[in-house]
Amino acid sequence: MKLINKRRRFLRDALALTGAVALGGCDKLSQTTWAPKVLGSATALSHAAQRALSRDAMAREYNEADISPVFRPNGSTDPQAPAYRALAANGFRDYRLGVGGLVAHPLSLSLEQLRALPNRTQITRHDCVEGWSVIGKWTGVQLSRVLQMAQPARAARYVVFRCYDAMDDGSEYYESLDFDDAYHPQTLLAWELNGKALPIPNGAPLRLRVPRQLGYKMAKYLRRIDLVDSFKHIEGGRGGYWEDQGYQWYAGI
Ligand SMILES: Nc1nc2c(c(=O)[nH]1)N[C@H]1C(S)=C(S)[C@@H](COP(=O)(O)O)O[C@H]1N2
Ligand SMILES: [Mo]
């Protein structure tokens, strides 16, 4: 009992700290000089506290009636990278998701192959760090199924998601998850939003859904997935595009 109370207090304090994050917008916050320091300390606290309480907890699932009329798009909404334009021009028929890095079986999966895998539909809430939320119905394959096919090596610790869209600084959007979240049953590679093929503004043809974390973790326009032992040497080294601008790596909600 005592331990639980202690953990609760720890969690509350950690959440109060991370609350500072919600005040800034995705772009505004990165321009302030104090942000990286505050966010850096909040990372360790909230990650440890939330994991202690909720390693296997499920995000709330909603009903059809709760679905938002419009799933507000955010960040990149129309990638201009030539490779992406070529795929889009052909209705994504030539799309392949590469899966590689520290795996026994590298994969190259077409949308058809992905759709043939057992899939899951979930109505969940999407919370952006900017302070807005929308509810949508997502269909896709559990990431765990794809990882089981690829067979991560023993040394693998993180799953890195590389995207097609280039950001203002020229780098590509990317994200990463640890294995707790990668193998969580609600973590999906999704190709359908509200019963229709995923629209381009929301990440066509395939995007990540991780409903226990903030919106920026949910990489759109997936190009490939790599299993790695560390993300230190990828892009800015902090595990994601927004993380490289100072946002926390573990964005649990
Ligand atoms: N590739 C890519 N993924 C991305 C982003 C982006 O700009 N590029 N923006 C992130 C942010 S901040 C949010 S809130 C969600 C928005 O998803 P939506 O456009 O479907 O609402 O995507 C996330 N994934
Ligand atoms: Mo966001």
Q: Kindly report, residue by residue over 222-238, the tens digit of the pLDDT.
A: 999 999 999 999 999 99
| CA dist., res. 57 & res. 140, Å (int) | 20
The fraction of the chain above a pLDDT of 70, given in percent, is 78
Can you read off the two tokens belonging to residue 49? 């506290």
Residues 6 or more apart from 165 whose CB is under 8 A from it?
Answer: 76, 79, 81, 84, 172, 173, 220, 221
More confident residue, 43 or 58: 58
Which residue's CA lies nearest to atom 1 of ligand 1? 220
Nearest CA to ligand 1 atom 8: 76
Q: In the chain, what are the domains?
A: 2-244 (3.90.420.10)
Between 7-11, 112-116, 211-215, 236-240, the lowest mean confidence (pLDDT) is in 7-11
| The dihedral sign for the CA sequence 37, 38, 39, 40 | positive
Report CA 106 to chain centroid distance, whole Å. Answer: 21
**Three-state secondary structure readout of 12-71:** HHHHHHHHHHHCCCHHHHCCCCCHHHHHHHHHHHHHHHHHHHHCCCCCCCCCHHHCCCCC
Best residue among 74, 188, 196 to mutate for probing ligand 1, ranked by most atoms within 8 Å of CB: 74
Neighbours of 146 (CB within 10 A): 19
215 with 126: CB under 8 angstroms? yes
Q: Using CA atoms, how far apart are residues 140 and 207, in angstroms rounded to an integer? A: 9
Mean pLDDT of 156-174: 97
Whether the CB of 164 sits within 6 Å of ligand 1: no
